[in-house]
Chain A
Amino acid sequence: MAQSAEHVLDHLELFRGPEYQQMLADKKMFENPRDPAEVERIKEWTKTAEYREKNFAREALAVNPAKACQPLGAVFVSVGFEGTLPFVHGSQGCVAYYRSHLSRHFKEPSSCVSSSMTEDAAVFGGLNNMIDGLANSYNMYKPKMIAVSTTCMAEVIGDDLNAFIKTSKEKGSVPAEFDVPFAHTPAFVGSHVTGYDNALKGILEHFWDGKAGTAPKLERKPNEAMNIIGGFDGYTVGNLREIKRILALMGIKHTLLADNSEVFDTPTDGEFRMYDGGTTLEDAANAVHAKATISMQQWCTEKTLSFVSAHGQDVVSFNYPVGVSATDDVLVALSRISGKEIPEELARERGRLVDAIADSSAHIHGKKFAIYGDPDPCYGLAAFLLELGAEPTHVLSTNGNKAWQEKMQALFASSPFGQVCQAYPGRDLWHMRSLLFTDPVDFLIGNTHGKYLERDTGTPLIRIGFPIFDRHHHHRSPVWGYQGGLNVLVKILDKIFDEIDKKTNVLGKTDYSFDIIR
């Protein structure tokens, strides 16, 4: 027996001992296991070009996709408004999943309610669930606003949110003037970034366009302020704070829409803050008057921006600005629209990032990377790698589309380091596995699920993306702006140096290169 009270062994070590190893070996006879030689043969076969071809011929099955469903994005947006409770109409299991998913990434509470539709609602529709649900949520959680979205179930049976909310108000579930914006978020269309877009548009539409026919539409009186939209982002805490800091430095009046940077980073001091921070409802309404709306993530805000632009505002979108040029572009645009100058302090920050890249670029130059994730982060990270002289060889986005692919290829074409790079829209991590075997790269950038690829293919994983479940707290630091670029640079460098050390640390064999200065 290896276990002891002095030195408690948990799963990390316990099962490595001879007793457990013997037990597991003996268990095999009951498993009707495959012939180990056959397992080996298939394992090797999955690494081949032939397998890759079959794998890429897949039309129906998805294996390890890198995307989630629409309502997750809707919940993410909703908690970015002051005192807002996300309410997902449909079956309740989905809501348990969104909450768990967000909590596992942010290590924070995630509050959201469901209308708990069951079999009878499938037959008769979910109106009663909406009526009761809104009344309960309103009384229990005292929100300032309830933002409604939908699960598959409500979408398939065709529940009409607008009519349901109206009826609920008539029945007194919530006061007539209480804000209940809504968005249909079918999971069988798009992904969580689509849900982000739909929900944000739903909320703006509610405030700007007459609250579903219950108030006069707002008349836009243009002012000097700017609206900023972050998009779906695992680094929302760090990134939105960084954006606010930059806007403050530039002295730009602004409204950050769907600002969830506080609610996903509340202090531990004895009080649970179910709601914290967020865009005030007043600001959300007044955002209609802004001069322009800037989205940090084009693919998260396509519908929202066309809605905003139809209200007469200038709209500008970026693709997850990581690094020097991407940040330059954001600052120049902010300055152009606001008429404010870019302060020296930001120029110095820029200089520091350039300095850091110059110091370290020799270690990154020419290295090949594979990246996967949401369309915008893929673009932003690829652009940064090109800037570093690295090659983003494979860039894969399960929720990327044809237009994304074209934009990625245009980016590759613009750089000498992008000549052999390829974008893969609509593909999943099992495709990526084939790519990493048949056309290997030095490093992989992606979320926690990438650790399976790292294990299978030996490609070291740099964790940048969503979700990150198995590393803590990185979401609190920005990856946008010059400061964020520095953070990303350091993450990449740390991994590169760790790998060099790992490969050179064999005593008496490879340790001539085990340098203490790099």
Chain B
Amino acid sequence: MSLATTQSIAEIRARNKELIEEVLKVYPEKTAKRRAKHLNVHQVGKSDCGVKSNIKSIPGVMTIRGCAYAGSKGVVWGPIKDMVHLSHGPVGCGQYSWGSRRNYYVGTTGIDSFVTLQFTSDFQEKDIVFGGDKKLIKILDEIQELFPLNNGITIQSECPIGLIGDDIEAVSRAKSKEYGGKTIVPVRCEGFRGVSQSLGHHIANDAVRDWIFDKLEPDGKPKFEPTPYDVAIIGDYNIGGDAWSSRILLEEMGLRVIAQWSGDGSLAELEATPKAKLNILHCYRSMNYISRHMEEKFGIPWCEYNFFGPSKIAESLRKIAGYFDDKIKEGAERVIEKYQPLVNAVIAKYRQRLEGRTVMLYVGGLRPRHVIGAYEDLGMEVVGTGYEFGHNDDYQRTAQHYVKDSTLIYDDVNGYEFERFVEKVQPDLVGSGIKEKYVFQKMGVPFRQMHSWDYSGPYHGYDGFAIFARDMDMAVNSPIWKKMKAPWKEAAKPKLLAAE
């Protein structure tokens, strides 16, 4: 059993403060000053978590962050299945991000769907020296010829594009015209822009606005009859099928989902979204921009929701239903009731195995707060959390709705800090990414990847909660963690703890 449960809030606070002081000691003075602003112990009642965020990462510290290209191609655009997404520049970026996010989709890959293909312009030296626009023109022709059923093309800029002065917008316009108004979207998501994936989300959102919405005919009829119950799922990337296990609940309560942004999504769904009655927003971080835009331009309200864990799911279903009539409100209650036996059974089975266990998180857009409720439904406690690329509005939401007093908060944490924190706090589980997974497992700390669901999922919705519970249990209670030390060696003593 972890320390946190046997210590008072005051003791934990003091320990966490000391811990922050301790990690800052390793840095040169200038760096220590900068990092100090990103680390804090949460004080209950405050409106945010008391950390600075969305600031440049410090060179050489081993930040866990990625880049704008990852935010655009990897997160926002990549899952749109019927469009070809070209990684424009040298081969690497597209190669490393190829198929790694598990955005599930249904389609005939390579024929009418393209998510798990790696299209790249594979820049060579001459393209850098003489510019890549000519190559891009040829590439677009080749895509048209060899992949004739694509419904559109996006051009995802890698670092060099913005540095060599290419005019991908002009190429896109010209080619779109040549192909009779085909959707071709240039995206300026070069990796050096901004400080993390986050600006890439924003740039990608803006590209939808400028190159898709702005080209819609003002009174264009949708391809289906509208109903008063049309909603769009925004900011669900269908990782391991998350959007599907969410959609099913919305439909069961009587709503009609007309678009998924962007997991298992299509160009037609993006284009139809301005006809939605409500946009429901899961990953606020990556898609709040387009939601706000649709509110301003088309008058569509949006509401944030959280489909992790039964408490938040029920709360969210009611919140969403609140935008509709009684039929939907009843629908929400019916759905909650329908799944209650499943929830009860899952909790009955797993809570006893997980009760009181502590968790430290470090993830991307919404998960550092959104999953907290799901852990609490299982009796677990999140004792530390932080965002890879959050902004202050994320930390506000976290402080106001999610974290407990004295939670350790770390923004843009780096390898060194995270290891020290975990070593000292000794949580029963860490939830973070692939780069962190094996570090903590070597240290003997159970781990789940919370970007890719560690190749499991879905975790959204009631069906997903059962999987979430199963997975956390199998991580925390795996028998292997008892075999860390050879029997002829001294019993494992966590290093820093022993020194306390």
Contact = CB atoms under 8 A, between A and B. Distances in A.
A116 B414 CA distance: 13
Nearest to A87: B60
A111 B82 CA distance: 36
A98 interface: yes
A31 B82 contact: yes
Interface in A99-122: 99-101, 103-104, 107-119, 121-122
A62 B443 contact: no
A24 to B, nearest CB: 6
B61 A113 contact: yes
A434 B342 CA distance: 48
B439 A72 contact: no
Interface in B44-66: 56-66
A54 B120 contact: no
A407 interface: no
A132 B58 contact: yes
A140 B444 contact: no
B59 A65 contact: no
A100 B492 CA distance: 29
A188 B127 contact: yes
A10 B194 contact: no
Given A5-B466, A92-B67, A141-B416, A61 B90 contact: no
Nearest to B463: A3
Contacts of B492: 270
A60 B211 CA distance: 24
A113 B64 contact: no
Contacts of B244: 15, 20, 23-24
Interface string B76-114: 000000100010011111011111100010101111100
B266 interface: yes
A309 B259 CA distance: 63
A103 B266 contact: no
Contacts of B441: 268
B118 A97 contact: no
Nearest to A470: B455
Contacts of A63: 117-119, 146
B90 A93 contact: no
B63 A114 contact: yes
Interface stretch (B135-143, B212-220, B292-300): B135-143
A58 B12 CA distance: 62
A114 B64 CA distance: 10
A269 B485 contact: yes
Contact of B91 (A69, A110, A122, A140): A69
A59 B164 contact: no
A34 interface: yes
Q: How large is the interface on B (under 10, 10 to 19, 20 to 34, 35 or more residues)?
A: 35 or more
Interface in A187-219: 187-189, 191
B439 A186 contact: no
A132 B59 contact: yes
Given A24-B244, A43-B111, A136-B27, A93 B463 contact: no
Interface stretch (B283-291, B344-352, B354-362, B400-408): B344-352
Interface stretch (B172-180, B245-253, B308-316, B366-374): B245-253
A99 B437 CA distance: 12
Interface stretch (B267-275, B321-329, B391-399): B267-275
B7 interface: no
Contacts of A32: 151, 223, 266-268
Interface stretch (B155-163, B202-210, B376-384): B155-163
A282 to B, nearest CB: 25
Contacts of A34: 112, 149
A54 B147 CA distance: 11
B224 A96 contact: no
Contacts of B194: 118-119
Q: How large is the interface on A (under 10, 10 to 19, 20 to 34, 35 or more residues)?
A: 35 or more
B338 interface: yes
A272 B443 contact: yes
Given A103-B438, A186-B125, A191 B467 contact: no
A11 B240 contact: yes
B339 interface: yes
B456 A112 contact: no
Contact of B248 (A19, A59, A69, A188): A19
Contact of A136 (B60, B151, B158, B259): B60
Nearest to A142: B26
Contact of A65 (B118, B146, B251): B118
A139 interface: yes
Contacts of A90: 159
A176 interface: no
Given A20-B248, A270-B444, A119 B108 contact: no
Contacts, number: 353
Given A140-B26, A273-B442, A15 B241 contact: yes
B435 interface: yes
Contacts of A6: 345, 349
Given A4-B466, A92-B67, A60 B92 contact: no
A152 B112 contact: no
Given A91-B192, A140-B61, A38 B247 contact: no
B195 A118 contact: yes
Contacts of A39: 108, 111-112, 149
A134 interface: yes
B148 interface: yes
A449 interface: yes
Contacts of B69: 93
B427 interface: no
A63 to B, nearest CB: 6
Contacts of B268: 30-32
Interface string A127-139: 0011011111111
B185 interface: no
B91 to A, nearest CB: 6
B16 interface: no
A8 interface: yes
Interface string A1-31: 1011110111100110001100110110111
B122 interface: yes
A386 B434 CA distance: 39
Contacts of B112: 33-34, 39, 42
Contacts of A24: 106, 244
A46 interface: yes
Interface string B406-439: 0000000011100100000000000001110111
B66 A10 contact: no
Contacts of B245: 14
Contact of A29 (B116, B123, B224, B339): B224
A178 interface: no
A456 interface: yes
Nearest to A129: B59
Interface string B436-468: 011111111000000000001110001100110
A60 B108 contact: no
A61 B61 contact: no
B109 A452 contact: yes
A30 B58 contact: no
B121 A61 contact: yes
Given A30-B224, A32-B268, A116-B56, 7 more contacts: A5-B348, A15-B244, A32-B151, A60-B121, A68-B95, A99-B435, A139-B31
Interface of B: 26-28, 30-31, 56-70, 82, 86, 89-93, 95-100, 104, 106, 108-112, 116-125, 127-128, 135-136, 138-139, 142-143, 145-146, 148-149, 151, 158-160, 162-164, 191-195, 197, 223-224, 240-241, 244-245, 247-248, 251, 257-260, 264, 266-269, 272, 338-339, 342, 345-346, 348-350, 414-416, 419, 433-435, 437-444, 456-458, 462-463, 466-467, 469-470, 484-486, 492, 494
6 closest A-B pairs by beta carbon, nearest first, are A93-B67, A69-B92, A133-B60, A133-B59, A32-B268, A97-B96
6 contacts: A59-B142, A61-B138, A63-B119, A64-B118, A135-B60, A269-B486
